[in-house]
């Protein structure tokens, strides 16, 4: 990620342990609000 966005190297280091990469397979997110029906996003 730091190679793709070199400007982040000023704020983060690859070995500092403060970042985490997650991978989701067949994920579903539901976004709810009082003003409209829930929106379901599948990825």
Work out the pLDDT band at 40, boundaries 50, 70, 90: very high
> How much is the average pLDDT of 2-23?
85
d(CA 30, CA 38): 6
d(CA 41, CA 11): 31
Percent of the chain at pLDDT > 70 equals: 100
More confident call, 43 vs 39: 39
> How much is the average pLDDT of 7-35?
88
Work out the pLDDT band at 42, boundaries 50, 70, 90: very high
Residue 15 in this model has a pLDDT that exceeds 90: no
Cα→Cα distances 20→14, 15, 16, Å: 10, 11, 11
d(CA 21, CA 4): 14
Q: What is the dihedral of CA 11, 12, 13, 18, to 10 degrees?
A: 140
């Amino acid at each position: 990620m730091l190679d793709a966005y070199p400007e982040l190297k000023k704020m983060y280091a690859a070995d500092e342990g403060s970042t985490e990469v997650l991978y989701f397979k067949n994920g579903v997110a539901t976004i709810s609000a009082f003003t409209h029906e829930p929106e379901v996003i599948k990825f």
